Structure formats: C-alpha cells, structure tokens
C-alpha cells in the first residue's frame, strides 16, 4: 500500500488503490496547486490528513484554518496572487464559506481556484443532507462532479483549467461514496505549479462597489454563458453507452457506479449520458439526447437538480420526450443511492426484476450508537456536571450542545443535550433559552468549535447580559475528525510547534467575569465549578481542559505501554455505579461480576476516583 507521504512522487502511469480523498490530494499535485486550506470535517477530512503528510516535499502550502470562510478567503487571495489554490470542506462547511464565495464569483480569480464540497447523502456524519450543487446556481459558478476516485483526481485538473480560463472559482462536489471509496487510480504527471507570484492592484476588478459591481454581474453571466457552450464540448460530459434509442439515462456523480451495475446486471437496453460538468448543463448535448430517445430517465442523488434543468430545457424547446426522475416520484429525493435504490426505482419503468430488489435506502444492520472512547475527558466533564446539577436539586435544566465528540453526551447515561443546529450554535441557542424559557441553561462547546464559530456568540452573550453556564471542553485538538490541530493547539498544520490562542484569555477579554479552569479528571473540582456557576447571577464559563484520549495515548505509547486498571473483586460491591452512571466502554458486567477489559482500558484512572467508585475497588494494575 502506497504511503500518503509518497503520493506526491513522480509515478506517471503507475496504479495505486486509493481512497477518493487520497485521489483528490494526488489531483492537487498533478494540477500544480500551491495553496490548500480547510477546516476538517467528515467526509472530507482525509484530503487534509493526506496533504499534511506530503505538503513539505511537494511545495504545497497547507493549512487547517479556523473555519471554512477563513480557509476560502486564504485560498482566494492566494489565487489573486497567482497561485493555483484549493479549499475543501464538509457539506455544511459550505454554509460558512458561502458569504465570501458569493462575492468572489463577481470579482473573479486569477490563478485557478477550486472549492470542494464533500456532500453527505444519508447523513452518515452530518446534521443534514443539503445538496450543495445549488451553490453553483446561487453563486453562478461552474460545478464539476466526479463519480469515482480516478475521476476525482482527473477532473480536478479540468476544474483548475476551467477556473483559470474563465477566471472563476469552480465548485467541485464529491459525496461520501466517492470520498470514502477505495479504487485503482492511475497516476499522471506531477505539475510544477507557478513559482513566484504577485498581487497586482486592480480596484475596479476586486472591489465590489458600484459602479463596478453591476459590470461584474454582467461579466459573470457572460462567463457562465461561455461555459455553457464549453460544457457541450468538454470530455467531462460523455455519451458512455449507446442503446437502441428507446430509453436514455442521464446520470451524474456517485449515482453512476451503482447505475452501471444495475444496467449490466439486467442487461438493460439504455443509452447513458454521463455528466461531469453538471452546471451549466451541456444544453446542445442534452437536447440531442432527448431528441434521440423516446424516454429519458434522470438519475442523481438528493435534489432534482439536473432533472429540473432538463425539464425546463425540454419545455423551452418544445421537446415532448417523456422525462422520468424524482419529480414524478419514480426516484427518491433523500438518502444515498445504492444499487438497490436505483434498481427499485428503475423496476417501475424498465424490465428490472423487482422481486430481487430491496429498495430500502439502508441495509438493516444492528444499531451501534457511537460512544465516547475509554479515557475520554468528556466523560469526566459530563459525569461531574450531571452530579453537580443533581445535587443542586435544580430541575428542567436546558443543555444546548454543539458539533464534536461531546455531542455524544446526548446518550445514556448522561442524556445532556437538548438542541443542536450547527457549529457554535450552542452559545446562541443558550442565550435564547436563557432569556425566554425561565430555566437554568448549561451549554457545551468544544475548543475547535469555539474558535470556529463560538467566539462571536460569546461576545454577544456578554454584551447582552445572558445568564447561563458555558462549558468549553478543551481537548487541544479537533478530535472528532482525526485529532487535527486548531488555533488552541500547540502544533501547527504539519505537526510543528506553533503559537496558540489561550481560551481563557479570549473569554476574559470578551468580558466574562467568572471563569473556572478545571481538569475533568478532577471530578470534585469540576463539580465545584459547576455548583458555583449554578449559583452565579450572570454568565460563567468553565473550561474543562484535558487532552483527547486518542491524541494523548499516541504520545504516551511512544514512551511506555499503557497500564490498564482492574476491579478488585474483594472490594467491589456490584453497586454498578461505574457501569450505569459512568459508562466507560472498557467496564462491563458479566454474570453480575464487574470487570475492566485491559485491551480497551487506556489507564486514565478516572473510574478509580471516589466519585465514581465509592468503594475504591478500581485500581491500577501497576500499583
């Protein structure tokens, strides 16, 4: 298996079995990209993890930025300075970047600029399944959509060429199936990328004020009209298969793979027009395709984005070919398209054996809710907050939560999460509850999320006199997506030592008067801080600080093996507090006997605290 650090090497013609996200990273090398930025988020995270491994030797500047908007702005400015630039993010990250993206379409770019959105049909790791193809309509920028890891690499090159030719940012959309699929990828040449570059002042081009902005809008529409004509000729849009002329299928993105499987399995007599440059639509190509078939089926995941455009095009050109897709209810508008989903839908109109088709969007597998890792400091924080609230006798506490590992506080035994919208929303919603619900409010946010979108909301809370407790769970990294650094980490994007922001200083300068810094492994102190916050008439912030267990264990294991804990059977009373109220996955009960699995235990020792095991029955193997 090829190591990520070797992905930038010259290997023209060689084939490697790559993850879609690794293929994207390789695509940057073959496209001569010089600046890449991101905020980590599944399903795009591995792109950054891979670039970080080869950035230095490939000459690519790579950065984990504080949020997607900043990431995009850095890439945009690098493009204006003459360097091909790339920024990538998970599906909901586009909402954050969109503010700057919209206007950058007006100003245009210089060197190629591509923004990748990793969409997540079926919401495997996202809070909604928004279809980000709509951003290409909203911003009037071209949209390219690969259907496989090979295309993810190859299409990127086309995206940069198009961006540079028309001086427009290009939207590059993958979905989880493309990002996380492994497939053989053939390498092309490594591109050298531009060397020295400069920014040339051009006020009428880069400052969207009137009268410049009206001219910019007109130019933007002209660019899209030109790209529409280009869309008819590009290799990205291809007639992949020719049938007898009765039925044609127009497909885009990740739906192509399962569609081909269904077509081959059932030996269907269909032509297939595959779209890679999806917006603007290749109108001439589509009109010809419609004219050559009696019926045309549009296959695409999520919204009827392509279908709506095709129906409109047919109507404007008086074409009466029957069009089938989502809008007539044949295909579903939600969730990932598997082979079964496509076969189930096609069986309504084509000779596909529906009896052998399970059209349910998900395969039935036993539910396995995610859990906090053994040794996770968040467990200590939630345990202490829950105990302190219980002892205070305050009822109906509202717990707004946020995006990160600590979202898992919603599950048993803690059940301390009442509402969650987006990055940083815990602090905004907490203020709304504090002023309107008449109940105590304790909100939770992680360090990375606090930097990403929580800080403005905290300033707002202070300025408007919100009465609430904010718990900032500071584990030093962006843990949920793979322990990437954030501005509070002492390491930079490539693992080197870096200056870092101190959360307590930021919180204090926002005007928060009551700040406690606790170690969540010190349950007594954490409980005391919560109790004080509950009795404080104002806004109090508790910073619960301890490194992510996985991140800390990686470092500890380099020095010595982890030493697990065990349950002393002579002292254990089987009270089950450690199992039912604390719930570390390393602790279990078998036939009434409580034990710790030494393979799972990371030796954090938190369960040995008297607040967890009142009988001091849990001990270190080493003691």
Q: Which is nearer to ligand SF4, 339 or 588 (CB)?
A: 588
The first and second tokens of residue 217, run together, are 């809008």
548 binds ligand SF4 (CB under 6 A): no
Q: Can you say whether residue 406 is alpha, beta or left, with left for phi > 0 and alpha for psi between -120 and 50 degrees?
A: alpha
587 binds ligand SF4 (CB under 6 A): yes
Q: How far is the CB of 605 from ligand SF4 (least distance, A)?
A: 5
Q: Which is nearer to ligand SF4, 195 or 592 (CB)?
A: 592
Q: Which of 408, 582, 389, 571 is nearest to 469 (CA)?
A: 389
Q: SS3 of 295, please?
A: strand
The first and second tokens of residue 405, run together, are 């590992």
Q: Which of 162, 441, 552, 613 binds ligand SF4 (CB under 6 A)?
A: 613
Gap between the Cα atoms of 282 and 568, Å rounded: 71
Gap between the Cα atoms of 234 and 580, Å rounded: 61
60 binds ligand SF4 (CB under 6 A): no
Count Cβ atoms below 10 Å from residue 395 Cβ, excluding itself.
Answer: 9
Number of residues in contact with ligand SF4, rule: CB under 6 A? 27
- Contact map string, positions 556 to 575, toward ligand SF4, x by CB under 6 A: ---------x-x----xxxx
Q: Which is nearer to ligand SF4, 413 or 492 (CB)?
A: 413
Q: Which is nearer to ligand SF4, 369 or 497 (CB)?
A: 369
Q: How far is the CB of 342 from ligand SF4 (least distance, A)?
A: 44
Q: Which is nearer to ligand SF4, 255 or 601 (CB)?
A: 601
Q: How far is the CB of 595 from ligand SF4 (least distance, A)?
A: 9
615 binds ligand SF4 (CB under 6 A): yes
Q: Which is nearer to ligand SF4, 236 or 617 (CB)?
A: 617
The one segment of 2-10, 39-47, 127-135, 601-609 that binds ligand SF4 by CB under 6 A? 601-609
Q: How far is the CB of 581 from ligand SF4 (least distance, A)?
A: 9
Gap between the Cα atoms of 93 and 174, Å rounded: 14
Q: How far is the CB of 585 from ligand SF4 (least distance, A)?
A: 7
Q: Which is nearer to ligand SF4, 216 or 604 (CB)?
A: 604
Provide the strand spans (E) within 466-559: 468-474, 514-518, 539-545
Q: Which is nearer to ligand SF4, 129 or 602 (CB)?
A: 602
Sheet bearing 277-279, strands edge to edge:
61-64, 35-38, 85-90, 113-119, 170-175, 143-144, 277-279
Q: Which of 495, 503, 478 is nearest to 90 (CA)?
A: 478
594 binds ligand SF4 (CB under 6 A): yes
Q: Which of 116, 290, 544, 618 binds ligand SF4 (CB under 6 A)?
A: 618
Q: Which of 518, 607, 609, 611 binds ligand SF4 (CB under 6 A)?
A: 607
The first and second tokens of residue 341, run together, are 């989903």
Q: SS3 of 314, please?
A: helix
Rg over CA atoms, the chain:
27
188 binds ligand SF4 (CB under 6 A): no
The one segment of 126-134, 136-144, 515-523, 605-613 that binds ligand SF4 by CB under 6 A? 605-613
Q: How far is the CB of 608 from ligand SF4 (least distance, A)?
A: 7
Q: How far is the CB of 620 from ligand SF4 (least distance, A)?
A: 8
Gap between the Cα atoms of 613 and 611, Å rounded: 6
Count Cβ atoms below 10 Å from residue 184 Cβ, excluding itself.
Answer: 11
Q: Which of 375, 400, 485, 520 binds ligand SF4 (CB under 6 A)?
A: 375
Phi and psi angles of residue 158, each rounded to the nearest 5 degrees, phi first: -65, -40
Q: Which is nearer to ligand SF4, 212 or 566 (CB)?
A: 566
Q: Which of 77, 82, 605, 619 binds ligand SF4 (CB under 6 A)?
A: 605
Gap between the Cα atoms of 405 and 475, Å rounded: 10
Q: How far is the CB of 578 from ligand SF4 (least distance, A)?
A: 3
Q: Which of 387, 379, 416, 377 is nearest to 530 (CA)?
A: 387
The first and second tokens of residue 514, run together, are 């009551």
The first and second tokens of residue 391, run together, are 């002892």
Q: Which of 31, 65, 606, 611 binds ligand SF4 (CB under 6 A)?
A: 606
584 binds ligand SF4 (CB under 6 A): yes
Q: Which of 306, 466, 512, 586 binds ligand SF4 (CB under 6 A)?
A: 586
604 binds ligand SF4 (CB under 6 A): yes
CA quadruple 135, 137, 143, 148: dihedral sign:
positive
Gap between the Cα atoms of 78 and 71, Å rounded: 11
550 binds ligand SF4 (CB under 6 A): no
127 binds ligand SF4 (CB under 6 A): no
Gap between the Cα atoms of 186 and 108, Å rounded: 32
577 binds ligand SF4 (CB under 6 A): yes
574 vs 244, 569, 589, CA distance in Å?
Answer: 73, 9, 9
596 binds ligand SF4 (CB under 6 A): yes
Gap between the Cα atoms of 59 and 78, Å rounded: 14
Q: Which is nearer to ligand SF4, 325 or 603 (CB)?
A: 603
Q: Which of 64, 170, 578, 609 binds ligand SF4 (CB under 6 A)?
A: 578
The first and second tokens of residue 444, run together, are 């939770």
Gap between the Cα atoms of 358 and 340, Å rounded: 6
User: How far is CA 485 from its chain centroid?
Assistant: 16
Q: How far is the CB of 576 from ligand SF4 (least distance, A)?
A: 5
Give the interface with ligand SF4 as residue ranges (CB under 6 A). Answer: 374-375, 565, 567, 572-578, 584, 586-587, 594, 596, 601-607, 613, 615, 617-618
């Amino acid at each position: 298996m090829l190591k990520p650090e070797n992905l930038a090497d010259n290997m023209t013609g060689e084939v490697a079995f790559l993850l879609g996200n690794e293929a994207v990273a390789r695509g940057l090398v073959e496209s001569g990209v010089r600046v890449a930025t991101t905020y980590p988020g599944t399903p795009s995270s591995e792109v950054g993890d891979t670039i970080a491994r080869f950035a230095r030797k490939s000459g690519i500047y790579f950065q984990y930025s504080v949020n997607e908007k900043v990431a995009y702005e850095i890439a945009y400015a690098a493009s204006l300075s003459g360097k091909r630039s790339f920024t990538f993010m998970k599906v909901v990250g586009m909402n954050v970047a969109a503010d700057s993206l919209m206007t950058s379409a007006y100003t245009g770019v210089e060197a190629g600029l591509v923004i990748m959105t990793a969409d997540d049909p079926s919401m495997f790791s996202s809070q909604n399944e928004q279809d980000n193809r709509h951003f290409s309509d909203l911003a009037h920028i071209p949209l390219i959509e690969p259907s496989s890891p090979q295309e993810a690499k190859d299409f990127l090159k086309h995206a940069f060429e198009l961006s540079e030719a028309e001086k427009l940012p290009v939207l590059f959309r993958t979905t989880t199936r493309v990002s996380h699929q492994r497939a053989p990828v053939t390498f092309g040449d490594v591109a050298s990328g531009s060397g020295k570059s400069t920014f040339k002042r051009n006020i009428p081009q880069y400052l969207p004020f009137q009268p410049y902005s009206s001219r910019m809008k007109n130019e933007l529409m002209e660019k899209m009209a030109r790209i529409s004509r280009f869309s008819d000729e590009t290799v990205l849009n291809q007639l992949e298969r020719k049938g007898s002329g009765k039925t044609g299928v127009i497909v885009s993105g990740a739906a192509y793979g399962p569609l081909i499987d269904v077509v081959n399995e059932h030996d269907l007599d269909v032509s297939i027009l595959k779209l890679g440059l999806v917006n603007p639509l290749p109108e001439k190509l589509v009109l010809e395709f419609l004219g050559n078939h009696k019926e045309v089926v549009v296959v695409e995941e999520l919204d009827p984005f392509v279908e709506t455009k095709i129906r409109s095009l047919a109507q404007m050109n008086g074409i009466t070919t029957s069009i089938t897709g989502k809008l007539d209810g044949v295909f579903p508008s939600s969730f990932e398209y598997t082979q079964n989903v496509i076969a189930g839908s096609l069986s309504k109109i084509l000779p596909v054996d529906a009896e052998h088709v399970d059209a349910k969007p998900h395969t039935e597998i036993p539910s396995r809710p995610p859990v906090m890792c053994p040794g996770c400091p968040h467990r200590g924080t939630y345990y202490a907050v829950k105990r302190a609230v219980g002892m205070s006798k305050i009822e109906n506490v509202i717990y707004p939560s946020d995006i990160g590992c600590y979202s898992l506080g919603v599950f048993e035994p803690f059940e301390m999460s009442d509402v969650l919208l987006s990055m940083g929303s815990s602090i905004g919603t907490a203020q709304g509850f504090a002023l309107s619900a008449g109940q105590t409010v304790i909100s939770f946010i992680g360090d990375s999320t606090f930097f990403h979108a929580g800080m403005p909301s905290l300033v707002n809370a202070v300025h408007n006199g919100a009465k609430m407790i904010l718990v900032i769970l500071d584990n030093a990294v962006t843990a949920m997506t793979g322990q990437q650094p954030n501005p509070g980490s002492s390491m930079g994007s490539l693992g080197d030592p870096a200056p870092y922001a101190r959360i307590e200083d930021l919180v204090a300068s926002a005007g928060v008067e009551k700040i406690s810094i606790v170690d969540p492994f010190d349950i007594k102190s954490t409980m005391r801080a919560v109790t004080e916050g509950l009795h404080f008439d104002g806004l109090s912030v508790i910073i619960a600080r301890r490194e992510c267990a996985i991140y800390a264990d990686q470092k500890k294991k380099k020095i010595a093996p982890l030493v697990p804990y065990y349950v002393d059977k002579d002292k254990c009373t089987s009270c089950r507090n450690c199992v039912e109220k604390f719930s570390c996955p390393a602790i279990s009960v078998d036939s009434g006997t409580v034990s710790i699995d030494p393979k799972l235990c990371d030796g954090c020792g938190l369960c040995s605290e008297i607040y967890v095991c009142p009988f001091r029955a849990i001990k270190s193997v080493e003691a």
